[in-house]
């Protein structure tokens, strides 16, 4: 497995990481713990060293899966987790109580994550969503203290806007920004990616396969259960899926020429954008994990990339990526 450094930091990880959320949360009921433990360990055997979780996934049960599964190989892996949602009170639906990045809450969240992850240090700690009630300087300062105490190694942000990134970075260097980025969500290219390049911050794209759509395994007839998060997303209505099929057709065409799969082309495209981009596709299946990891061996030439850009620019992607309330939490 090839490796990459996240920005100018010394944090070196596998060129493709593994997003663990779907093992416990968002895409139907939680999967079998033994099966997912075996998958996590199979990922390590295949060279994956970068694993992504969060306290809100479940809540808590994803960290409770990832920690024990990776404990025997802890020295070989980088574990990223996130704070920032208020998970107190009787309604434990993720984010039901809103955001909370007050410094004292961050410290409590980290103690909980350390226990669940069976570790004494978090390699990369992200603020999950920017809290408009707490100045980002206070958030960065709290993480800086945790780094000084040896409980955290690196600071990250998720779905933050340019000004927030700059202000946070001035207090405590930001190692990575996690944001959605893929062939069908390219908004970060306008302002965010140039800012990351200037400051030497890595980019960790989540949903790099468009929540499964860019694999070519979905169409307007795909039925999503009520316990599948995608059933609430405007981009996954039958009308939007039908309209957006043109993006999959483009990936299919390139994949056929490269003897690859649409998912591998979508990931190879991301890897070709910048040397400090590390996508974290999620999966619950070993054959999909192996398919995704195969993307590191797909070579896209400058001509291929130009052709993809030109074709993609002609496609008007339909449907917002989040309902209004959740979209309002991004880009702050």
DSSP string, 177-246: EEEE-BTTB-GGGTTHHHHHHHHT-EEEEESTTGGGGGGT---TT----TTBGGGG-GGGSHHHHHHTHH
Tokens 């499964």 belong to 212
Q: Could you give the CA distance from residue 259 to residue 277 in angstroms, rounded to a whole number?
A: 24
Query: In Å, how far are 100, 196, 218, 224 from 221, measured between CA atoms?
Result: 39, 39, 8, 10
Q: Could you give the CA distance from residue 37 to residue 267 in angstroms, rounded to a whole number?
A: 24
The single residue of 27, 57, 181, 206 carrying the catalytic annotation is: 57
Q: Closest Cα to residue 59, out of 107, 19, 91? A: 91
Cis amide prior to 24 (ω within 30 degrees): no
57 noted as active-site residue: yes
Question: 192 and 330 in contact (C-beta within 8 Å)?
Answer: no
- CA 189, 283, 301: angle at the middle one, nearest 5? 45
The token pair that represents 325 in the structure block: 């309330």
Task: Give residues with Cβ within 8 angstroms of 276, minimum separation 6.
Answer: 4, 5, 6, 7, 196, 202, 203
Q: Could you give the CA distance from residue 305 to residue 57 in angstroms, rounded to a whole number?
A: 35
Q: Is 188 left (phi over 0), alpha (psi -120 to 50) or beta?
A: alpha
Q: Which residues are catalytic?
A: 57
């Amino acid at each position: 497995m090839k490796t990459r450094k996240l920005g100018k930091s010394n944090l070196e990880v596998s060129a493709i990481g593994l997003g663990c959320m779907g093992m416990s949360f968002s895409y139907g009921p939680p999967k079998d713990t033994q099966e997912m433990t075996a998958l996590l360990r199979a990922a390590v055997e295949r060279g994956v060293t970068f694993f992504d979780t969060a306290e809100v996934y479940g809540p808590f049960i994803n960290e409770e899966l990832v920690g024990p599964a990776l404990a025997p190989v802890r020295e070989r892996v980088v574990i990223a987790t996130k704070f920032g949602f208020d998970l107190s009170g009787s309604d434990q639906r993720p984010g039901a109580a809103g955001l909370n990045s007050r410094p004292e809450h961050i410290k409590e969240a980290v103690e909980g994550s350390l226990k669940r992850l069976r570790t004494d240090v978090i390699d990369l700690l992200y603020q999950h969503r920017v809290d408009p009630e707490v100045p980002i300087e206070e958030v960065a300062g709290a993480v800086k203290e945790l780094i000084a105490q040896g409980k955290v190694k690196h600071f990250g942000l998720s779905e933050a806007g340019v000004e927030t990134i700059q202000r946070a970075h001035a207090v405590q260097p930001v190692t990575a920004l996690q944001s959605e980025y893929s062939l069908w969500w390219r908004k970060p290219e306008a302002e965010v990616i140039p800012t990351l390049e200037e400051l030497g911050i890595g980019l960790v794209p989540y949903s790099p396969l468009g929540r499964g759509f860019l694999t070519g395994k979905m169409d307007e007839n795909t039925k999503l259960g009520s316990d599948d998060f995608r059933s609430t997303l405007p981009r996954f209505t039958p009308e939007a899926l039908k309209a957006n099929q043109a993006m999959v057709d483009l990936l299919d065409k390139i994949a056929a020429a490269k003897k690859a799969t649409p998912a591998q082309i979508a990931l190879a495209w991301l890897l070709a954008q910048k040397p400090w981009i590390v996508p974290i596709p999620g999966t619950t299946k070993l054959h999909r994990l192996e398919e995704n990891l195969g993307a590191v061996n797909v070579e896209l030439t400058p001509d291929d990339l130009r052709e993809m850009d030109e074709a993609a620019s002609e496609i008007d992607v339909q449907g917002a990526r989040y309902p209004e309330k959740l979209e309002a939490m991004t880009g702050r």
